[in-house]
């Protein structure tokens, strides 16, 4: 931890030299507190606290919703998440149109190439959609706590 705090104060403002003690090292430099010469005031209003917490929750939710997960289906581990759905969508379109090439494979979460028929790929896609829905609901319920 740097002990030079002069960069926290603009030109013309004072910097107090204080002893290097455990108590002084706990000093708050967040800008949340104000000292007017007589009183220390907490500048965090309830509205500011709610706004800050809402931003934290939104950031957490966005990370969770964009993460990749693994679930078990038909005896194998499979990736799922928005990126998986995006990669899978064109292949599923081809499967629904019966245009998958012979020997088509999809790679499972353990990096095994698994031969797939059109029906098997569509079933996997449906299972991924269900896993995504379940995870999304879990994220939503956790966010609302």
Q: What is the pLDDT of residues 101-128, one digit of tens each?
A: 999 999 999 999 999 999 999 999 999 9
Q: Has residue 122 been placed in a domain?
A: yes
Q: Residue 43 has what pLDDT?
A: 85
Residues 105, 121 contacting (CB under 8 angstroms): no
Pick the residue with more confidence: 22 or 66?
66
Q: What is the sign of the dihedral through the CA atoms of 91, 95, 99 and 104? A: positive
Evaluate whether residue 12 is within a structural domain.
Answer: no
pLDDT band for position 11 (cuts 50, 70, 90): low
Higher-pLDDT residue of 41, 142? 142
Indicate whether 6 belongs to any domain: no
Q: Determine the average pLDDT of the residues in 41-63.
A: 91
Q: Is 23 within a domain? A: no
Task: Give the tokens for residue 25.
Answer: 């090292």
Coil, helix or strand for 75? coil
DSSP state of 144: T
Q: What is the pLDDT of residue 9?
A: 56
Q: What is residue 33's predicted lDDT score, i.e. its pLDDT?
A: 79
Beta strands in 14-143 (DSSP E): 33-35, 40-42, 69-73, 76-80, 105-107, 113-115
Q: How confident is residue 12, by pLDDT bands cut at 50, 70 and 90? A: low
Mean pLDDT to the nearest integer, 16-44 = 77
In which domain, by residue range, is 122 found? 64-143
126 located within any domain: yes
Number of domains observed in the structure of the chain? 1
Name the band, by pLDDT with cuts 50, 70 and 90, for residue 64: very high
DSSP 94-120: HHHTT-PPTT-EEE-TTS-EEE--HHH
User: Does 95 reside within a domain?
Assistant: yes
Distance CA 25, CA 88 (A): 53
pTM above 0.85, yes or no: no
Residue 22 lies in a domain: no
pLDDT at 89 over 80: yes
| 37, part of any domain | no
Tokens of 120: 């098997």
The whole-number pLDDT of residue 115 equals 98
Q: How confident is the model at residue 23 (pLDDT cuts 50, 70, 90)?
A: confident
């Amino acid at each position: 931890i740097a002990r030079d705090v002069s960069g926290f104060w603009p030109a013309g403002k004072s910097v107090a030299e204080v002893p290097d003690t455990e108590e002084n090292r706990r000093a708050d430099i967040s800008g949340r507190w104000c000292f007017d010469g007589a009183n220390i005031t907490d500048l965090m209003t309830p509205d500011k606290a709610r706004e800050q917490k809402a931003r934290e929750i939104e950031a957490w939710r966005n990370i969770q919703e964009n993460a990749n997960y693994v679930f078990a289906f038909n005896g194998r581990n499979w990736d799922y998440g928005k990126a998986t759905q995006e990669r899978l969508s064109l292949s599923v379109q081809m499967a629904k149109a019966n245009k998958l090439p012979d020997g088509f494979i999809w790679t499972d979460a353990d990096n095994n190439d698994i031969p797939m028929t059109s029906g098997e790929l569509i079933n996997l896609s449906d299972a991924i959609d269900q896993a995504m829905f379940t995870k999304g609901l879990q994220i939503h319920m956790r966010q609302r706590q």
